Amino acid sequence: MSKPNKFGCGVCEAGSPLHLERGQFTPKDGARNMEIQIFTARGYKVLVVDDNLINRKVVLGMLKPYECDLSSAESGQEAVELVREHCFDLIFMDHMMPEMDGVEATKIIREQCGENGKKPVIIALTANVMDKDKEMFLENGFQDFLPKPVDREPMHNMLAKWIPDSYKKEKEQTVQEEVPREDISNLIAEGVDIEKVLEYHTGTPGDYLELLNLFYIDGLKKTDYLETLARAEDLAEYRIEVHGLKSAAANLGAMELSEKAKAHEQAAIDGDVEYIRNHYQDLLENYRGQLSEIYRVLVKNGKQKKGDKGVKQPITVNELHDAVKEALKLVENFKSKQCAAKVEWLLEHEMDQALRTVLEDVQIKLKMYDDDEAEDLLRDTVIHWDTN
């Protein structure tokens, strides 16, 4: 275990501001503040694995100031494939994921990925922090765990603990510029606890607005999927989805929605089909209501266009196909911003739901700077058209 060093945390005087980068949120009044001595660790390779888009984005955002080499995976299987091909120094591994969970993925990495699987420190991202859970992680190839939703102070402590001193360089701090509370209030939707946002969010107001946008786009698909799982009484998959919703909502400050998701997760764990059957509509009503409020904030701040949820513009099949091929050519030529604009334009038009789902996924990949995945999705679509 690493000893504490100058890059750890020290308690500030009561009421003193958290030392953050220019333009970041400041903690709520009266909060217990910690002076975080940020360091950089260039060349230190970190992989973040989480099936939930928002949770992945939040963790990556927290890691960005440390200037590590960052990669991400949205499934256990993808993580295994990445480790087979690349040597990482540290892996943040989500516990609850569909198909292959974090424990199974870690076992495979440790046993089947050679030296690449033996080298990295693997830290569990988990809401389960009981003693028995801690022991289970340690017995299955993990070295540590980080509670979810992830907070910046425990994240910093974890990095300070596990990143070798040889990588650490002291980072010159910039003068903090407080964000006026009224400016932040313009980004807060009904149902969102502004105090939680001020206390836990890391990044600028623009970063938070981007999280809202991703939560909204992702939620438009997730609500229908949750309803399908609830009606089918598929408790295993339902548990994974509400577990992800619990953390994602908490990361945005939507605490009522997070608590409702938590109750449904516990019901799924307990096999309480009756509770889910009687209350899933209430969860979905809250989820959809939260998405509607977030949409209002996004429109107000120019991240969504009024009427995006309404009637789409007509387009011919040939025009649709040509536009998708143009989007593919743009991303192939490293013009991701132009590709994103083309995809946004496409989504304003009529198309079948299958293609809309693909383009929404492309939109999310581009927002996550995962251009390769976006390119693959567009290329697969074009190949499907050309061969049918």
Each residue of 90-102: pLDDT tens digit?
999 999 888 899 9
Average pLDDT over residues 317-337: 91
Q: Are strands 9-11 and 34-36 parallel, antiparallel or unpaired?
A: antiparallel
Query: How many residues can be counted in the chain?
Result: 388
CATH T-level assignment (fold) for domain 38-168: Rossmann fold (3.40.50)
Q: For residue 130, what pLDDT band results from cuts at 50, 70 and 90?
A: low
Q: What angle do CA 169, 170, 175 make, to 5 degrees?
A: 145
Mean pLDDT is lowest, of 188-197, 210-219, 315-324, 335-344, for: 188-197
Q: Which one is predicted more confidently, 307 or 340?
A: 340
Strands of the chain, DSSP E: 9-11, 34-36, 39-40, 45-49, 69-73, 90-94, 121-126, 144-147, 169-170
Lowest mean pLDDT among 1-10, 69-78, 211-220, 224-233: 1-10
The domain 194-300 is placed in CATH, from the list 1.10.3470, 1.10.1740, 1.20.120, 2.160.20, at 1.20.120
Residue extents of the structural domains in the chain: 38-168, 194-300, 317-386
pLDDT for 198 equals 65
Mean pLDDT value of segment 67-74: 94
Alpha-carbon distance of 163 to 156, in angstroms, equals: 10
Strand partners, 92: 48, 123
Averaged pLDDT for residues 326-334: 93
CATH fold match for the domains 38-168 and 194-300: no
Nearest to 106 by CA among 89, 85, 92: 92
Query: pLDDT exceeding 90 applies to what percent of the chain?
Result: 45
Q: CA 349, CA 159: separation in Å to the nearest integer? A: 45
With 70 as the cut, is the pLDDT of residue 311 above it? no
Mean pLDDT of 42-46: 96
Q: Look over the chain and give the mean of its residue pLDDT values, rounded to a whole number.
A: 82
Q: Is the predicted pLDDT of residue 10 greater than 90, yes or no?
A: no
Instruction: Name the pTM for this structure.
Output: 0.67
Q: What is the pLDDT of residue 8?
A: 45
Given a cut of 60, whether residue 180 has pLDDT beyond it is no
Q: Give pLDDT, residue 183.
A: 57
pLDDT band at 127 (very low <50, low <70, confident <90, very high): confident
In tens, the pLDDT along 278-302 reads 999 999 999 999 998 988 888 888 8
